[in-house]
């Protein structure tokens, strides 16, 4: 029987920060199914079940072979009954009836549409659904709704924003952002984080971390031009603040959830032949792109970089590991040793892994 050498299921850690997970996923069939189940539980605000499926997905993303029979998952962590049932169904039927039920569920379908709008989360979706709204068409037609500024622009640029961001677009935006930042702060470091730093070829947004070595004069950076829409969140970090206990807490950096207008040269010959029929001004030669800009003080840069590189599941497991295995508290700002009652400084991601007693995991191996 062909067996993958040096793989022992019982030695797979329950923490994704002790595993190396690349984008090479042999079990997409299963992990896509789990992610739908997790999302449905998230819509029902059942965090426990949602996490159960996300953890299972993350373990299967790490497996160096495709699962073809139940024996293949024997001894692996995070394989609860709900998870095993779905794996069994997919092995036997090629698909899962439970997942199909979710995909056909009216509430799931509505929440999926609603949350695809920038600025709309589970809470707003819940409200709209209770009002009897089911589709985005119904939402836009409902003139009595009080939409936030964020939701208004989310609907205005909807088509652009739901179409994914490519690597080429990420590079182009990177140049624009760097140029803009450097006119105000010539020495600032601008680093691409999020999925693109992990090697993903597409994303739903582009994440940048900005830090300025030397004296702090970055406070005004986000208040200057360039953006189509920008929701600036002021920094709420207070000095010597202990890392938050909540593993999904937002950080306190100054940040901006922006929509950037990326001009694109038109390359298709088709539109050129017909362009004479249109007023040139009406031809849209740009795309609205979601960009997150995070400003971190230089001393916190390594922690911010680790946190904003993700994946979300990798970050959750790092914090859970720190807390439960090391009695330390980690967030995007700092690492605090509860026993020694000290903050552990780090100038690089490598140092943070070392503080935690973990082997270093490269960004492209954090696709948990």
Q: Using CB under 5 A as the criterion, which residues of the chain lie in contact with Mg ion when the complex forms?
A: 194-195, 203, 205, 207
Please provide the DSSP assignment of 274-322 as one string.
HGGGS-GGGS--EEEEEEEEEE--GGGHHHHHHHHH--HHHHHHHHHHH
Count the residues of the shown chain that bind ligand DCP, applying the rule CB under 6 A.
Answer: 16
Distance CA 90, CA 73 (A): 13
Nearest to Mg ion by Cβ — which residue? Answer: 194
205 marked ligand binding residue: yes
The CA-atom distances, in angstroms, between 20 and each of 52, 115, 300, 367 are: 20, 30, 25, 8
Instruction: Produce one character per residue of 48-81: b if its CB has 16 or more CB atoms within 10 Å, e if not.
Output: ebbbbbbbbbbbbbbbeeebeeeebbeebebbee
Q: Is 317 a catalytic residue?
A: no
Q: Work out how close the CB of 1 gets to ligand DCP at its nearest, in angstroms, rounded to a whole number.
A: 37
Q: Please identify which residue in the block is written with the tokens 């002790």.
A: 18
Cross-strand partners of 294:
209, 255
Stretch 146-185: interaction string toward ligand DCP, x if CB under 6 A: ----------------------------------------
The one segment of 5-13, 130-138, 231-239, 310-318 that binds ligand DCP by CB under 6 A: 310-318
> What region, left, alpha or beta, does residue 240 occupy, with left being phi > 0 and alpha being psi -120 to 50 degrees?
left
Distance CA 230, CA 29 (A): 37
Q: Choose the catalytic residue: 207, 218, 251, 317.
A: 207
Nearest to ligand DCP by Cβ — which residue? Answer: 310
Query: Contacting ligand DCP (CB under 6 A), which of 131, 250, 283, 342?
Result: 250
The one segment of 21-29, 125-133, 197-205, 270-278 that binds ligand DCP by CB under 6 A: 197-205
Contact (CB, 8 A) for 190 and 210? yes
Q: Is 292 a catalytic residue?
A: yes
Binding status of residue 312 toward ligand DCP by CB under 6 A: yes
Q: Which does 363 bind (CB under 5 to 8 A by kind): Mg ion, ligand DCP, none?
A: none
3-state secondary structure at position 42: helix
Instruction: Produce one character per residue of 29-45: b if its CB has 16 or more CB atoms within 10 Å, e if not.
Output: bbbebbbbbbbbbbbee
350, 351, 352: which is closest to 332 by C-alpha?
352
Contact (CB, 8 A) for 212 and 298? yes
For ligand DCP, give the closer residue by CB, 102 or 333: 333
The one segment of 18-26, 238-246, 270-278, 307-315 that binds ligand DCP by CB under 6 A: 307-315
Binding status of residue 243 toward ligand DCP by CB under 6 A: no
Q: Which does 311 bind (CB under 5 to 8 A by kind): ligand DCP, Mg ion, none?
A: ligand DCP
Query: Contacting ligand DCP (CB under 6 A), which of 178, 204, 261, 355?
Result: 204
Which letter does DSSP use for residue 366 in this model?
B
Q: Choose the catalytic residue: 205, 251, 317, 331.
A: 205
Catalytically active residues, by annotation: 205, 207, 292
Where do contacts with ligand DCP occur on this chain (CB under 6 A)? 194-195, 200, 203-205, 207, 250-251, 307-308, 310-312, 315, 332
Which residues contribute to the annotated binding site for Mg(2+)? 205, 207, 292
């Amino acid at each position: 029987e062909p067996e993958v050498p040096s793989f022992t299921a019982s030695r797979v850690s329950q923490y994704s920060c002790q595993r190396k997970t690349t984008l090479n996923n042999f079990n997409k069939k299963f992990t896509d199914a789990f992610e739908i189940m997790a999302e449905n539980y998230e819509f029902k605000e059942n965090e426990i079940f949602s996490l159960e499926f996300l953890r299972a997905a993350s373990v299967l993303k790490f497996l160096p072979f495709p699962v073809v029979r139940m024996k293949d998952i024997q001894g692996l962590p995070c394989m609860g009954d709900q998870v095993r049932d779905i794996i069994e169904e997919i092995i036997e039927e090629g698909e899962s009836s439970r997942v199909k039920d979710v995909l056909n569920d009216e509430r799931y379908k509505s929440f999926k549409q609603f949350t695809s709008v920038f600025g709309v989360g589970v809470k707003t979706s819940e409200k709209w659904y209770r009002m009897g709204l089911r589709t985005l068409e119904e939402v836009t037609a409902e003139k009595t709704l009080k939409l936030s500024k964020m939701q208004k622009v989310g609907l205005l640029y909807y088509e652009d924003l739901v179409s994914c961001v490519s690597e080429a677009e990420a590079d182009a935006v990177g140049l624009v952002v760097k140029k803009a930042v450097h006119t105000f702060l010539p020495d600032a470091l601008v680093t691409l984080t999020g999925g693109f730093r992990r090697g993903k070829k597409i994303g739903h947004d582009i994440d940048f971390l900005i830090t300025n070595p030397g004296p702090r004069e970055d406070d005004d950076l986000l208040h200057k031009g360039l953006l189509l829409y920008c929701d600036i969140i002021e920094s709420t970090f207070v000095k010597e603040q202990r890392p938050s206990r909540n593993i999904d807490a937002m950080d306190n950096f100054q940040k901006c959830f922006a929509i950037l207008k990326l001009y694109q040269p038109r390359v298709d010959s088709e539109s050129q032949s017909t362009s004479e029929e249109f007023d040139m001004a009406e031809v849209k030669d740009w795309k609205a792109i979601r960009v997150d800009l995070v400003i971190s003080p230089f001393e916190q840069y390594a922690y911010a970089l680790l946190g904003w590189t993700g994946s979300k599941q990798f970050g959750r497991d790092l914090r859970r590991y720190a807390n439960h295995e090391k009695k330390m508290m980690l967030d995007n700002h700092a690492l605090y040793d509860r026993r020694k009652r000290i903050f552990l400084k780090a100038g690089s991601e490598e140092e943070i892994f070392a503080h935690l007693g973990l082997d270093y995991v490269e960004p492209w191996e954090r696709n948990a």
